[in-house]
């Protein structure tokens, strides 16, 4: 999956931190995991596109996703409000986290898929 595709499927529709036109070399660990799920055939681009932004995301933390996504995220050391010890009430996760949460809520992926892909 090309970086442009990641931005189209994950960043633009699901990430509140994404800014069109700003060059960003890194992708969040959630987007990286989604890319790996597609590359390994566990998830199809069609399944990614069937989940719509804003649908059924339950704000809050998901321990499976925290373990799979947040612990190894390159943005965490810079101060991720969502994963801080005392997050502000309006703290939001990255787009990869949101999309993975939606895919799990819809039964498209499981925690086992994340463990296999993440090697945990």
pLDDT digits (tens, 9 = 90+) for 49-70: 777 765 655 666 788 888 888 8
Whole-structure pTM value: 0.84
Q: Whole-number mean pLDDT of the chain?
A: 81
Burial of 61 (0-12, 13-18, 19+ CB in 10 A): middle
As a whole number of angstroms, the distance between CA 32 and CA 84 comes to 21
Q: What are phi and psi of 64, to 5 degrees?
A: -65, -45
Statement: residue 91 has pLDDT above 80: yes
Statement: residue 120 has pLDDT above 60: no
The single-letter DSSP state of residue 68 is: I
As a whole number of angstroms, the distance between CA 32 and CA 54 comes to 21
Residues 6+ apart with CB under 8 A from 42: 109, 113, 116, 117
The single-letter DSSP state of residue 52 is: P
């Amino acid at each position: 999956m090309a970086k442009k595709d990641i931005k189209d499927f994950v960043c633009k529709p699901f990430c509140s931190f994404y800014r069109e036109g700003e060059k960003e070399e890194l992708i969040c660990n959630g987007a990286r995991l989604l890319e790996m799920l597609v590359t390994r055939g566990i998830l199809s681009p069609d399944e990614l596109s069937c989940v719509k932004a804003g649908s059924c995301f339950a704000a809050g933390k998901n321990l499976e996703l925290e373990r799979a996504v947040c612990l190894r995220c390159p943005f965490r050391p810079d101060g991720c409000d969502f994963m801080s010890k005392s997050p502000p009430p309006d703290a939001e996760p990255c787009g990869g986290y949101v999309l993975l949460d939606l895919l799990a809520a819809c039964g498209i992926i499981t925690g086992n898929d994340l463990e296999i892909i993440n090697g945990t």
